[in-house]
Amino acid sequence: MHRIVFLDRATIAPQIRLRRPSFPHEFVEHGHTGPEEVVPRLAGATIAIVNKVRLAAAALAQLPDLRLIAVAATGTDCVDKPYCEAHGIAVANIRGYAVHTVPEHAMALILALRRNLVAYREDVLAGRWQQSGQFCFFDHPIHDLAGSRLGIIGEGVLGQRVAELAKAFGMQPMFAAHKGVAGLGPLYTPWQEVLETSDIITLHAPLTPDTRHMIAMPEFRAMKRRPLLVNTARGGLVDEQALLQALDEGLISGAGFDVASEEPPPADHPLMRAARRHNVIVTPHVAWASDEAQQALADQLIANIENFVAGRPTNLVRGAY
């Protein structure tokens, strides 16, 4: 009988139903798991479920019964995949569940920042409307989305969906060519042109050694139109200290970030230092987390486990995905 252990169930909202697999099994849930608890909690487990808990080679070497690591997310950087491949441990992830929730969150950040909703809300709560002496006031600039140029970095399913939503608002989406790469075809706009001509830039790329800090001071200084920068992908794509400097120098008009290089970020993290500005919105890595998307994730997670046990594994991961 399989022993299934979920090490960080609290990373899925409590209202989301996580059905039990259809085969005989023992199912154990832990809300959170610290590094020192990984090995004792997975002792005897044949299937581990993790979202962000790190499964390093040193821990995996002490878990001879483990056959499958079912990651309750798309990113699998928490798992030592080379060790798993060398020792016959399958790794499966979740795919395609966030096609609505992440693009909608990105557009919400864009709308809120473009129309200065945060600043106006704070002013209303502070009594500024009454102080104005008229039916409205104009303390913060408001810009339409229609006619603006949207640079999209990342041409996968999420970037494509953002482009569809942007077109509905009358925006002009551009898919950025990969940094330092030419000749990718007519779908792409050259990297430097996207930096120089975008009114808004939104990130939807994976975090790899090649994309880490793809946006840093040289890129900020190339942004001639002082765009908004939105990141609902991975925190490490942007040099966050450079982001703070770019905001200080007025190189960008604002920032909407749902991710950070360290999560949760400490109080002195650059994003936290920027978060109280009227032109910055920081959300706690919840772009993926609509109830509908979480339920789809939970259903796919259990399906991956059932398919593996049935001998027809799905969504297996290798390499650095």
Contact partners, residue 105, CB within 8 Å, separation at least 6: 232, 258, 283, 286, 287
| pLDDT over 70 at 282, yes or no | yes
Helices 157-168/101-114 angle, 10° precision: 50
234 tagged catalytic = yes
- From 311, 306, 233, 295, select the one nearest 70 (Cα to Cα): 306
CATH of the structural domain 2-97+291-309, one choice from 2.40.420.20, 2.30.42.10, 3.40.640.10, 3.40.50.720: 3.40.50.720
Averaged over 298-315, what is the pLDDT? Answer: 98
Phi and psi (nearest 5°) for 70? -95, 110
Catalytic site residue 178? Answer: no
The active-site residue out of 29, 263, 292, 318 is: 263
The residues, any chain, with a CB within 8 Å of residue 237's CB and separated by 6 or more, are 153, 203, 205, 207, 211, 212, 213, 214, 215, 231
Gyration radius of the chain's alpha carbons: 22
Strand partners, 254: 228
- Across the range 86-110, mean pLDDT stands at 97
114, 204, 234, 269: the active-site residue: 234
The string of pLDDT tens digits covering residues 162-215 is 999 999 999 999 999 999 887 778 889 999 999 999 999 999 998 888 999 999
Catalytic residue, chosen from 285, 306, 312, 318, is 285
- Please give the helix or strand (H or E) that residue 62 lies within, else none: none
Mean pLDDT of 139-147: 97
Whole-number mean pLDDT of the chain? Answer: 96
Gap between the Cα atoms of 35 and 28, Å rounded: 18
Region 101-282: CATH code: 3.40.50.720
Tell me, what's the pLDDT at 184? 77
Confidence band (pLDDT; 50, 70, 90) for 318?
A: confident
Equal fold, 2-97+291-309 vs 101-282: yes
Q: What is the pLDDT at residue 321?
A: 36
pLDDT at 183: 73
**pLDDT tens string 226-276:** 999 999 999 999 999 999 999 999 999 999 999 999 999 999 999 999 999
What are 9-27's pLDDT values in tens digits?
Answer: 999 999 999 999 999 999 9
Among this protein's residues, is 29 annotated catalytic?
no
What's 238's DSSP letter? B
Tell me the domain boundaries of the chain. Answer: 2-97+291-309, 101-282
